[in-house]
A and B are shown apart, each in its own frame.
Chain A
Amino acid sequence: MRSALVIARRELAGYVSTPMGWIVAATILLLDGLLFYALALGPAAGPRLSAEVLSRFFWTTSGLVPIAAVTLSVRLLTEERQLDTLVLLSTAPVRDREIVLGKFLAALAFLALLTLLTVYMPLLVLVNGKISVGQVGVGYLGLLLLGGAVLAIGLFASCLTRHTLLAVALGAAITAGMFLLYPLGTVIDPPLGGVLRALSLHGEHFFGFQTGAMHLRDVVYYLSVIYFFLLVSTKVLEAKRWE
């Protein structure tokens, strides 16, 4: 675990010291602000209850967080391969799972920082009405869990190739595929439709968070997705040693 934190610290410094992390953060915050204004606050949105505005905010942000997560995570191992620096980690007394965990924690920390920077939007709602701290807290927890799941997917994609664009395409395809399971599940007869909806990354599992209702099954689902993709990422790294 200590090695994972050492790796996470260096990786986090990498996000902060290079323009890439800030460009992603600025882009996502700009888009989120515009969408918040257009869909939740602006004249077109009409009068709404604060809870509805918050729900709309978390819904729009939950569309942007996965984009940020894919962008932040796909470089995690592809860049190491491109720079030939992975060998530094792979010949140090560090387990492959610590490499994966360290990378994931750094990306999660940066994503959390980015996501928390959107907190001014719920505070704007507070200026004009009442908000439930519980709904805000649960909403942000949902965003973090969703973001963590997509980060794990992106990290897995970055394990598979040394080409960043290919990793972006892979990560985005897996994420989009898991998002689309929900609408697909709604048009397919049960029980398969139900299974697809239950496996969907959004919709079924995020709806509760967005409305301030936290269900254990949703938390377990996102943690399971994170664990699964971190596990397969570790296995891919191990397999690369056998080639």
Chain B
Amino acid sequence: MILANRLLKYFGGRRALAGVSLEIDRGEAVGVLGLNGVGKTTLLRILATDLRPTGGTLLVDGVDAVRDPLSVRRRIGFLPQVPPLYPEMVVLDYLRFAGRLHGLERRALERRIEEVADLIHIRGVLGELVRHLSHGYRQRVGLAQAILHDPMLVILDEPTHGLDPAQVVEMRGLVRRLKERHTVVISSHNLPEISETCDRLLVLDAGEVIAMGSEAELSGRLLGAMRIEVAVRASRAGAEAATGAAADVVACLQAVGGVSAVVPAPGPAGELAFALEADGDRRAEVCRALVDAGWAVLRLDRGRHELENVFLELVGAGAAGSGPGPARGAEEPPAAIDGRVA
């Protein structure tokens, strides 16, 4: 679907992209991850043909985006970080305008507006002026214009930017639904958003792709181990005390092949929680061992902070390797990552 080769972008003397190469298959959802100012938006604007690259080639569905941008634009839908909405327009008129720009005929356009309004849940605001919409609805209307013409490729630049937690969850649900019929490229520095909606990650640092792959691939490659979180009920039939129980669980987990470390983790009362490191995905073996030993497994999942660790590992390495000059790793510490990893 997308084949980019050594994309280069300069703004005056400032290099924004330093030879980005990537390949995205049809039907994939790819997350572009990076700290602020590493070139995520520039890359997306180039993919959306809003900007032209200073160098390199970009093929979208086999069409050269520099030589024939109009053909590429028929295949893409773009939601920039700030939705491109006209405040004085009624939402319905705005969508009609966006559809006509993409050449939709009247009947097809009306039908498509109905479909998209149901999909994005904006039917109730179709008659409202854009200026009266909440931020969440503005974002949805922006998303609606991006998919109105049913593009092959949907490009979303930080779609949850500025949304409250409930709206973020809803937007993630919408993006997941988009994956069913579109190729999706989504940029964010919100790690859970990327983790939950994308098949593959592309990590940018200083305008370069420093890693690309699934979360599991990246964590396996970079962290050398998979982190697993497990919680069991604190008591089992015949158990005497919680401390003894914890030692039993640790012994049980250490006996599982491939598990290299078991560390107790904080958990609610009545629960024993542990963080494991394994040489691969050992969740099935861990579960079987615990159940066989008579423990009631309450929770078993991959480490919640695994992506953060991968990300920090990557940008940390990028910053260390960047030599003199502003070291982003130090300049914008992990606090910038969704404000959660401080």
Contact = CB atoms under 8 A, between A and B. Distances in A.
B100 A87 contact: no
A161 to B, nearest CB: 17
Nearest to A96: B69
B239 interface: no
B174 to A, nearest CB: 19
Contact of A87 (B11, B12, B78, B97): B78
B88 A6 contact: no
Interface stretch (B44-52, B223-231, B256-264, B290-298): B44-52
Nearest to A79: B86
Contact of B73 (A14, A85, A91, A243): A91
Contacts of B70: 93-95
Given A88-B101, A92-B101, A93-B103, A14 B50 contact: no
A14 B84 CA distance: 15
A84 B80 contact: yes
A98 to B, nearest CB: 10
A75 to B, nearest CB: 12
Contact of B97 (A6, A17, A93): A6
B101 A89 contact: yes
Nearest to B42: A243
Interface in B18-55: 45, 48-52, 54
- Range class of the B interface residue count: 20 to 34
Contacts of B87: 83
Nearest to A243: B11
B98 interface: yes
A85 B103 CA distance: 19
B172 interface: no
Nearest to B72: A93
Given A92-B101, A93-B103, A87 B80 contact: yes
Interface string A166-198: 000000000000000000000000000000000
B88 A93 contact: no
Interface in A46-102: 83-95
Nearest to B9: A243
Interface residues of A, number: 25
B48 A91 contact: yes
A207 B199 CA distance: 69
A120 interface: no
B233 interface: no
A3 interface: yes
A91 B102 CA distance: 10
Nearest to A18: B88
A178 to B, nearest CB: 31
A91 B86 contact: no
A92 B102 contact: yes
Nearest to A88: B84
B130 to A, nearest CB: 10
24 contacts: A2-B103, A6-B100, A10-B86, A13-B89, A13-B93, A14-B88, A84-B82, A85-B85, A87-B84, A89-B101, A90-B50, A91-B49, A91-B50, A91-B76, A91-B78, A92-B101, A92-B102, A93-B102, A94-B73, A241-B50, A241-B52, A242-B51, A242-B54, A243-B11
Interface of B: 11-12, 45, 48-52, 54, 70-71, 73-74, 76, 78, 80, 82, 84-89, 93, 97-98, 100-103, 145
Given A91-B78, A92-B98, A95-B70, 20 more contacts: A2-B103, A3-B101, A10-B89, A13-B89, A14-B88, A83-B86, A84-B80, A85-B84, A87-B45, A87-B48, A88-B98, A91-B50, A93-B101, A93-B103, A241-B51, A241-B52, A242-B52, A242-B54, A243-B11, A243-B12
